[in-house]
Amino acid sequence: MERKLHLPPFTLETAQQKIKLVETAWNNKNPYEALEFFTEDSEWHSGPIFLNGHKEIKNFLIAKWKKEHKYKIIMQYWAHTDKSIAIQFISEYCGENLMWYRACGNETWEFNDNGLIKNRFIRMNDFPIEEEERQITSKLVLVSSF
């Protein structure tokens, strides 16, 4: 896919393509790859957590993926405008305590004209689950819809 297809204004098709690219980067658990989708001065708002800029985001992602083993996320299209995309997501990981967790929520991404995320607003709940309750397999197949 050519990068120019992922610039605002978004269509349903280009919004879905952008989501898939971001999802892949997150599942690779490489903070540098994930940061390629964000402006240098990007701001993240997630409940009480506010992150500003690549340095804070990179440090957050390094710490997150260091403690969230076998992390996987599935992102699904929810809505879009010319310069924003909203998603629903479900992620699962095994914590340092060897317990499994699931996070469910939604995000809104606001883009600049170059197709980079300037603002990311996240609302989510995460909670412990039993390993047999996992809904995401290693192949990223959702067993039941969310």
Cα–Cα distance between 108 and 67 in angstroms, integer? 25
Cα 44–chain centre separation: 11
Q: What is the pLDDT along the chain (146 residues), one digit of tens a residue?
A: 444 558 999 999 999 999 999 999 999 999 999 999 999 999 999 888 999 999 999 999 999 999 999 999 999 999 999 999 999 999 999 999 999 999 999 999 999 999 999 999 999 999 999 999 999 975 545 544 44
Domains of the chain: 3-133 (3.10.450.50)
- What is the pLDDT, as a whole number, of residue 5? 54
- What is the pLDDT, as a whole number, of residue 138? 59
